[in-house]
């Protein structure tokens, strides 16, 4: 089973021909900024399983880990689409909000919980990490 999705205006489409390596909720301050104060909800896929149609814009920054993170979004409507790390070019993080419904993806882990606001509700059934968790296993080719 695969997944399809698009930005809010439809100018950027994504097709994913694979299953996620992990599905996470991120409470880091950078994610809170792009998610209007809450966490981002993300699925990590093999880069080779993702096909993007349309033009995206991106910005990069050096994370606390020392790795360069690059976030891509639709330049027309601003919808955050996906991101990647210089440490793991074989993986891409796709924002769950761009995926077409229905889909079966839900976070099983909350990360950067130390940066969550005090009013945040984090499901106690999820594995939680106060900062960056260990990297997911490298996907097999």
pTM: 0.90
Q: Residue range 8-28: average pLDDT?
A: 96
What pLDDT does 75 receive? 98
Q: Parallel, antiparallel, or unpaired: how do β-strands 22-26 and 80-85 relate?
A: unpaired
Residue 110 has pLDDT above 80, yes or no: yes
- What domains can you pick out in the chain, each with its CATH number? 3-128 (2.170.150.70)
Alpha carbon distance 76, 100 (integer Å): 19
What pLDDT does 13 receive? 98
């Amino acid at each position: 089973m695969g997944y399809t999705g698009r930005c809010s205006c439809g100018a950027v489409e994504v097709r994913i021909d694979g299953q996620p390596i992990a599905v996470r909720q991120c409470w880091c301050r950078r994610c809170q900024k792009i998610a209007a104060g809450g966490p981002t909800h993300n699925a990590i896929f093999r880069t080779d399983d993702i096909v993007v149609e349309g033009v995206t814009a991106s910005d990069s920054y050096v994370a606390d880990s020392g790795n360069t993170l690059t976030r891509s979004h639709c330049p027309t409507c601003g919808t955050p689409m996906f991101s990647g790390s210089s440490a793991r070019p074989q993986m891409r993080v796709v924002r769950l909000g761009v995926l077409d419904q229905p889909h079966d993806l839900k976070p099983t882990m909350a990360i950067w919980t130390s940066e969550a606001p005090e009013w945040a509700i984090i499901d106690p059934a999820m594995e939680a990490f106060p900062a960056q968790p260990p990297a997911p296993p490298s996907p097999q080719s």
